[in-house]
């Protein structure tokens, strides 16, 4: 994939994700119902399709989304596949950030800790430690944070090395991410993308050609799951079939949640980290 194509693809993905979150929250693409509004965000209700420790996939019949409790949340949730829950929180880029998770019988499974109030005027500006279990603030945003990240080339190379990728070119800076040409452990050329906080965001084969795939014997969803497992991933089912590829939500050996893109020839040509 050409490095320059990343920006347009990202805009399209964000737009689609935002639409999907609204559809889950209201059951339609028009608006969120007033009754679903709360101080913690909006509420979505559905059945749990798959569980990944402190995350799970929620399906309300109109769509699916990955629900997560975020930093400071429990390492695992006492939920099971097939259970119906109501989640109140905020939609993010590719996930739904839960503030409260509630069973049909009213039992609250998870409730995010409320941050402490700011100090009163005249008391001083000393930092107040958050209570146990409270969500940690996101890394700093803005030009200053971007400048620090952009100058730390060694940190970027360490992130790639940890993912089995060796950089073969210089980082290319974009408004919200950095791309680095690389080569994976199998010697295949890839494009690795890091977000503005230095986290690995995506790895994609640099020379993937969907037109070549059509010449191969196409695989089915069951084959896609089997191939993903053989590659070391733990996939969830069912997989989502697109026009030219399968999308598979899975975890890797480190327990990280990813969206795998697998062509109909059985090649995982893209990995997207889901946070």
In a shared domain, residues 267 and 151: yes
Span between the terminal Cα atoms of the chain, in Å: 23
Q: How many CA atoms lie within 13 A of 201 on its CB side?
A: 17
| CA–CA distances in Å: residue 76 to residues 8, 10, 52, 68 | 36, 30, 8, 10
pLDDT of amino acid 176:
82
In a shared domain, residues 163 and 258: yes
Q: Name every residue whose Cβ is closer than 8 Å to that of residue 275 and which is 6 or more positions away in sequence.
A: 68, 92, 93, 94, 95, 199, 257
In a shared domain, residues 70 and 164: no
- Positive or negative, the CA dihedral 91, 250, 200, 262 is negative
The DSSP 8-state label assigned to residue 127 in this structure reads P
Domain membership of residue 163 as a residue range:
143-273
pLDDT of amino acid 251:
93
Q: Is residue 264 part of a domain?
A: yes
| Domain end call among 111, 132, 154 | 111
CB 117 within 8 A of CB 106: no
Q: Is residue 150 part of a domain?
A: yes
Place of tokens 């509004």: 37
Q: Is residue 130 part of a domain?
A: no
Q: Is residue 219 part of a domain?
A: yes
Which among 265, 259, 145 is positioned nearest to 202, based on CA atoms? 259
Q: Name every residue whose Cβ is closer than 8 Å to that of residue 117 and which is 6 or more positions away in sequence.
A: none
CB 189 within 8 A of CB 183: yes
Q: Is residue 196 part of a domain?
A: yes
In a shared domain, residues 85 and 41: yes
| CA–CA distances in Å: residue 19 to residues 92, 122, 231, 273 | 11, 45, 32, 20
In a shared domain, residues 264 and 153: yes
Q: Is residue 198 part of a domain?
A: yes
In a shared domain, residues 17 and 87: yes
**What are φ and ψ of residue 273, in 5° steps?**
-75, 130
- Angle 216-219-222 from CA coordinates, rounded to 5°: 165
Burial class (CB in 10 A: 0-12, 13-18, 19+), 87: buried
pLDDT of amino acid 231:
92
Which residues of the chain fall short of a pLDDT of 70? 1-40, 71-72, 93, 114-151, 210-216
Six token digits for residue 33: 């119902």
Residue 58 belongs to domain with CATH number: 2.40.50.140
What is the total count of domains within the chain? Answer: 2
In a shared domain, residues 89 and 159: no
**What are φ and ψ of residue 147, in 5° steps?**
-65, -40
Distance CA 235, CA 228 (A): 7
- Angle 267-270-146 from CA coordinates, rounded to 5°: 165
């Amino acid at each position: 994939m050409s490095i320059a194509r990343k920006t347009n693809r990202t805009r399209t993905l964000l737009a689609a994700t935002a639409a999907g979150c609204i559809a889950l929250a209201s059951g339609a693409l028009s608006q969120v119902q007033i009754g679903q509004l709360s101080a913690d965000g909006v509420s979505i209700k559905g059945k749990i399709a798959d569980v990944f420790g402190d995350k799970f996939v929620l399906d309300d019949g109109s769509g699916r989304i990955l629900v997560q409790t975020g930093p400071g949340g429990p390492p695992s949730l006492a939920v099971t596949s097939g259970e119906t829950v109501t989640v109140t929180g905020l939609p993010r880029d590719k996930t739904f950030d839960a503030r409260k998770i509630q069973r049909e019988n009213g039992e609250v499974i998870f409730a995010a800790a409320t941050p402490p109030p700011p100090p009163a005027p005249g008391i001083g500006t000393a930092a107040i430690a958050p209570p146990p279990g409270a969500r940690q603030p996101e890394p700093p945003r803005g030009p200053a944070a971007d400048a620090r990240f952009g100058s730390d080339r060694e940190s970027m190379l360490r992130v790639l090395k940890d993912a089995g990728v060796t950089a073969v070119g210089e980082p290319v800076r974009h408004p919200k991410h950095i791309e680095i040409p690389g080569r994976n452990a199998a010697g295949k050329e890839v494009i690795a993308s890091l977000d503005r906080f230095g986290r690995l965001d995506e790895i994609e084969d640099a020379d993937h050609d969907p037109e070549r795939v059509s010449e191969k014997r196409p695989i089915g969803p069951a084959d896609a799951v089997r191939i993903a497992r053989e590659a070391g991933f733990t996939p969830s089912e069912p997989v989502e079939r697109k026009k030219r590829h399968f999308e598979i939500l899975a975890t890797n050996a480190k327990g990280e949640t990813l969206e795998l893109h697998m062509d109909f020839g059985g090649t995982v040509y893209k990995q997207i980290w889901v946070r």
